[in-house]
Structures are given as structure tokens and as C-alpha cells.
């Protein structure tokens, strides 16, 4: 194999993938040209390109998946939140720990944690992240948005991850305009400030640059539906806004509060206000009814599922089979980043359905009997949709992930079972080569900036530990005085 130089994309290149999954079909020795804009197009066999000029990539190669919902700053919580605080531990008690972390972070910490998180996500098979950032006031002195979004963009550039920033509006603690709690203060801003920050991000990140922009409302708990109704058209009027994202129905208490306040459950409320459209991504929908999911499907919205986080937080399990069968769009997200593998999210999605129904192959369909293939295709297409990007066609963005023989027993299977082996049978699948926008960001398992990213991440965790220890000592002194 010719050497695959990391970061290389200066000239059109020709790459031959030994096994390439394109639009649901495996191709042997598929040759693509990758142009200087990072687009790939397939060459027909024998069309004149000298095979000797191409890099040959063994293993199995798939289009990288979009991570349609990510809070990178929560990456350290996975190890910190597994000790019981009370017998009633749940999503709401986990949230207190998240607030504690959010209050401790400065911009340097955010950038370091995000870069490490994105590096993990690249190895996990993602090539683009939609970063849903509601933490925007950080550190001392308090650096405001859009610097927090900029820290994420810088980290994405260091890691080589494609990124869509979703600056997120957060204003209230609950329905009815309940004032934010002290722990929510780093998230809060006025509508006018939010719009000023949004315009600043448009100015900082030009349309032809690597950073794409969308927008988000945290939830109907955190933003009044009337505010969403007033703001959404303004945001969507901006041609560069790739779409709107929002958490919906993650917890039964949120649904109950929404019904109490508005007489409708969250997704039904959005539909009744005429807000849903193909430019909306609804995150979780764990406790949305089949009728609500049908409203989302009819509107063309995308439902973003985050199975590892939903399991870790004890959220519950969405009843999604009927929605999928009706061609509803789904994407996947790593959310809190307790899980950082795209294929593992797909496995958990199917396994959660099996646990709930005591059946197997729940998310298969008569015309798509292999669950892994159906879910990979759905997540690939839905991820593009959640980013406001069309998928398919002869030309595509050159975002590819390649798994080798360490990623399960796929090589012992017929090609039609490659994905079944990767998704359901590989213990910890890690991509060996990752290409983002035509550039190799990981090749032969190596990332050029891994040592620097790791060093910065460790330093950030040490700073956080020192702040926690100091805060604990302060509290103990206060308690004893």
C-alpha cells in the first residue's frame, strides 16, 4: 500500500477501497477520486485511471456516520456518576453532577475535553459532530458565547472532526417560565443576546469554511414555546442555518409537565404550533407516543436517538419500530459521550427493543432482514438530514471509516454479513483509518495530534480535580465554622 499521509488533501487523489459500502451495497475494489473540495466520486472499472496511482485500503470501509447530538463537555462524567448518591438516583440526580462540572469548566478545559472526545468519536466511526452547546459562560473571568462555541470549533479542527455548531438557547428551569436555578446560570442568556451571539458566529465562520452552523433550543422546559415560535422562523430564514435541534420527551416528568402547562405532550405541542418541518431534529423522543412520532414523520422531522446515554441515565426505551417501518427518519447521537462508538449505538438501539419486547431482530423489516444494514443505512441518511445535507447521488463527501481484522469476525463472513459482524459481534470496534473531507485524520491507527490532545485532557482533568478538592475543603470549613 502506498503511504497514507495524515492531513493530506492538497491534490485530487485516487483511493481504492478493498471493500466499500456504498448506498447499501458492498463493492470490491471500489476506486474513488477525491477532489480538493473533499468530495468523492466513484470511478467505473477500466475508465482510464491507472490503478498503480491509487492508495489501496484493505479492510471494510463505510461512510462515516454523523453524530447528530453531542455535549462534548460531559465526556468526564461517565466515570464520575456511577456511584449511588441515593436509592432514587435517576436522570435528575445525574443532572446535578452535570451542573457541578459545568460550573467548574473554563474555556481551556472545554477545548481540551472536546478534542479528546472528538478523537474518541473518530475512532468510534463518526466523521461529523453536531455539537449542541448550551454551556456558554465559562471560567473566571466569565468568557461568554460565542467563545465557547469557538473553543469547540478549535478542538474539532485539532481532532480533524467535521463540526456543525448548534448554539443553544436555555432560559428557564421548567415550564411556565420558572427562573433558572444557580446550577443553570452558565447556560442562561436573553433572546436578544442569543441572536447577537448567533450573528457573531455567522461572521466568524464564513460559508466556505469548515465550520457549519445550526441552532438549538434546549427543550420546552428551558425555552417557552412562544419564544421558540418567534425565533425559529428568524433562524431558519438565514440560508446558512442547517437546521434546528431540541431535546424532546426524554423524561416522563417532562411530558407530564408539558401536558399540565399546555394540554399537549411535547411533540404534539410543536406540531400544533406549526413548528415541525424537515429542518427540525428532535432528540430522544423516548416518551413520545406513536401518534406523536407519526406527527414528526408527516412533518419530515428527524428523530435523534442516543441509546448509550439513554441507558446510562435510565431514560427509558423509545418504541421506534412502527416509526421506522413508516419510513420515519432517525439519526444517532453520543449525547453525554458515555458511549463513543457509532456501531455500538446501533447495537444498543436494537438490543433495547429486544429487552423491551422479548423478541429478536425487532428493527428488521421484510425487505431489510439484516438489522445492522437497515440501521446503518438509516443512521447514515438521517444523520445527513439532521445536518441539512442531502445524502446519496454520484458525488458524496469523502468521509470514510475503515475497520480491520481487529474489529470482529467480519472477514470470516460473506459480504452481506459484514455489517452484522461489525455491529453485533465486534467487542470494541475501532476504526483503523478515518478520512474526513478527503483528509486522512487517522491512518494505521495513528492520529498526528494524539499525544498533545491526551496531555491537554489529563491537565484539564487535574485542574477540575483540584477545583473540586478546593470547593470540598471550603464547604467543610464552612460547615465547621
Q: Which listed range, 271-279, 335-343, 344-352, 356-364, lies at the site for Zn ion (CB under 5 A)?
A: 335-343
Assign 481 to helix, strand or coil.
coil
Q: Please report how close the Cβ of residue 341 comes to Zn ion at its closest, in angstroms.
A: 18
Q: Please report how close the Cβ of residue 134 comes to Zn ion at its closest, in angstroms.
A: 9
Q: In residues, how long is the chain?
A: 481
Beta carbon nearer to Zn ion, 94 or 205: 94
Q: Which listed range, 44-52, 117-125, 327-335, 359-367, lies at the site for Zn ion (CB under 5 A)?
A: 327-335
Beta carbon nearer to Zn ion, 345 or 404: 345
Q: Contact, 55 vs 14, CB < 8 A? A: yes
C-alpha cell at 433: 483509518
Beta carbon nearer to Zn ion, 68 or 435: 68
Q: Please report how close the Cβ of residue 219 comes to Zn ion at its closest, in angstroms.
A: 9
Q: Please report how close the Cβ of residue 297 comes to Zn ion at its closest, in angstroms.
A: 22
Residue with the shortest CB distance to Zn ion: 335
CA nearest to 106, candidates 451, 473, 466: 466
Beta carbon nearer to Zn ion, 120 or 335: 335
SS3 sequence of 381-444: HHHHHHCCCCCCCCEEECCEEEECCCCCCHHHCCHHHHHHHHHHHCCCCCCCEEEECCEEEEEC
Could you say whether residue 335 binds Zn ion (CB under 5 A)?
yes
Residues in 213-252 at the binding interface with Zn ion, rule: CB under 5 A? none
Q: Please report how close the Cβ of residue 103 comes to Zn ion at its closest, in angstroms.
A: 18
SS3 sequence of 78-123: HHHCCCCCCCCCCHHHHHHHHHHHHHHCCHHHHHHHHHHHHHHHHH
Catalytic option among 104, 315, 335, 373? 335
Distance in angstroms (rounded) separating the CA atoms of residues 180 and 187: 9
Q: State yes or no: is 284 an active-site residue.
A: yes
Catalytic option among 71, 218, 284, 433? 284
Torsion of CA 167, 170, 171, 175, to 10 degrees: 140
- H/E stretch holding 211 reads strand 211-217
Q: How many CA atoms lie within 13 A of 468 on its CB side?
A: 13
Q: Please report how close the Cβ of residue 253 comes to Zn ion at its closest, in angstroms.
A: 16
Beta bridge partners of 165: 131, 213
Q: Which listed range, 96-104, 330-338, 375-383, 441-449, lies at the site for Zn ion (CB under 5 A)?
A: 330-338
Distance in angstroms (rounded) separating the CA atoms of residues 343 and 306: 12
Beta carbon nearer to Zn ion, 71 or 347: 71
Size of the site for Zn ion (CB under 5 A): 1
Beta carbon nearer to Zn ion, 217 or 400: 217
Ranges assigned E (strand) in 326-473: 329-332, 395-397, 400-403, 433-436, 439-442
Cell 445550526, located at residue = 214
CB atoms within 10 A of CB 141: 7
Q: Which listed range, 109-117, 194-202, 314-322, 334-342, lies at the site for Zn ion (CB under 5 A)?
A: 334-342
Beta carbon nearer to Zn ion, 132 or 376: 132
The contact mask relative to Zn ion for 414-433 (x = CB under 5 A, - = no) is: --------------------
Q: Please report how close the Cβ of residue 281 comes to Zn ion at its closest, in angstroms.
A: 11
DSSP-derived secondary structure letter, 44: P
Residues in 27-46 at the binding interface with Zn ion, rule: CB under 5 A? none
The contact mask relative to Zn ion for 366-405 (x = CB under 5 A, - = no) is: ----------------------------------------
Q: Contact, 88 vs 351, CB < 8 A? A: no
C-alpha cell at 191: 433572546
Contact residues toward Zn ion (CB under 5 A) are 335
- Known catalytic residues are 284, 335
Amino acid at each position: 500500500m502506498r503511504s497514507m499521509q495524515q492531513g493530506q488533501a492538497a491534490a485530487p487523489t485516487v483511493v481504492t477501497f478493498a471493500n466499500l459500502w456504498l448506498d447499501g451495497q458492498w463493492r470490491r475494489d471500489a476506486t474513488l477520486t477525491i477532489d480538493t473540495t473533499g468530495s468523492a466520486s466513484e470511478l467505473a472499472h477500466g475508465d482510464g485511471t491507472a490503478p498503480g496511482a491509487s492508495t489501496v485500503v484493505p479492510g471494510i470501509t463505510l461512510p462515516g456516520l454523523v453524530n447528530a447530538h453531542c455535549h462534548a463537555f460531559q465526556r468526564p462524567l461517565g466515570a464520575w456518576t456511577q456511584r449511588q448518591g441515593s436509592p432514587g438516583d435517576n436522570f435528575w440526580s445525574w443532572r446535578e453532577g452535570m451542573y457541578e462540572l459545568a460550573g467548574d469548566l473554563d474555556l481551556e478545559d472545554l477545548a481540551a475535553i472536546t478534542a479528546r472526545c472528538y478523537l474518541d468519536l473518530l475512532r468510534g466511526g463518526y466523521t461529523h459532530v453536531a455539537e449542541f452547546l448550551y454551556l456558554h459562560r465559562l471560567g473566571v473571568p466569565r468568557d461568554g458565547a460565542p467563545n465557547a462555541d469557538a473553543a469547540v470549533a478549535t478542538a474539532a479542527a485539532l481532532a480533524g472532526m467535521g463540526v456543525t455548531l448548534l448554539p443553544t438557547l436555555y432560559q428557564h428551569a421548567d415550564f411556565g417560565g420558572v427562573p433558572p436555578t444557580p446550577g443553570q446560570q452558565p447556560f442562561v442568556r436573553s433572546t436578544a443576546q442569543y441572536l447577537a451571539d448567533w450573528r457573531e458566529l455567522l461572521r466568524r465562520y464564513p460559508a466556505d469554511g469548515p465550520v457549519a452552523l445550526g441552532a438549538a433550543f434546549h427543550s420546552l422546559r428551558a425555552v417557552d414555546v412562544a419564544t421558540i415560535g418567534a425565533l425559529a422562523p428568524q433562524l431558519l430564514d438565514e440560508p446558512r442555518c442547517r437546521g434546528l435541534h431540541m431535546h424532546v420527551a426524554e423524561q416522563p416528568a417532562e411530558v407530564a409537565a408539558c401536558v399540565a402547562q399546555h394540554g399537549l405532550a411535547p411533540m404534539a405541542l410543536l406540531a400544533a404550533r406549526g413548528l415541525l418541518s424537515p429542518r427540525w431534529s428532535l432528540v430522544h423522543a423516548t416518551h413520545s407516543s406513536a401518534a406523536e412520532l407519526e406527527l414528526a414523520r408527516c412533518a419530515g422531522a428527524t428523530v435523534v436517538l442516543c441509546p448509550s446515554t439513554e441507558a446510562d441515565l435510565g431514560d427509558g426505551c423509545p418504541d421506534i419500530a412502527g416509526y421506522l417501518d413508516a419510513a420515519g427518519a432517525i439519526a444517532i447521537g453520543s449525547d453525554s459521550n458515555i458511549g463513543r462508538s457509532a456501531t455500538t449505538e446501533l447495537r444498543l438501539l436494537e438490543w433495547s427493543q429486544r429487552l423491551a419486547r422479548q423478541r429478536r431482530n425487532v428493527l428488521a423489516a421484510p425487505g431489510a432482514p439484516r438489522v445492522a444494514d437497515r440501521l446503518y443505512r438509516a443512521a447514515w441518511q438521517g444523520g445527513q438530514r439532521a445536518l441539512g445535507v442531502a445524502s446519496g447521488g454520484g458525488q458524496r463527501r469523502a468521509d470514510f471509516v475503515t475497520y480491520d481484522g481487529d474489529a470482529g469476525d467480519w472477514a470470516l463472513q460473506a459480504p452481506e454479513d459484514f455489517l452484522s459482524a461489525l455491529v453485533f459481534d465486534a467487542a470494541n470496534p475501532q476504526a483503523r483509518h478515518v478520512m474526513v473531507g478527503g483528509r486522512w485524520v487517522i491512518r494505521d491507527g495513528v492520529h498526528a495530534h494524539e499525544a498533545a490532545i491526551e496531555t491537554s485532557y489529563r491537565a484539564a482533568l487535574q485542574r477540575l480535580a483540584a477545583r473540586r478538592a478546593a470547593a470540598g475543603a471550603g464547604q467543610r470549613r464552612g460547615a465547621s465554622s
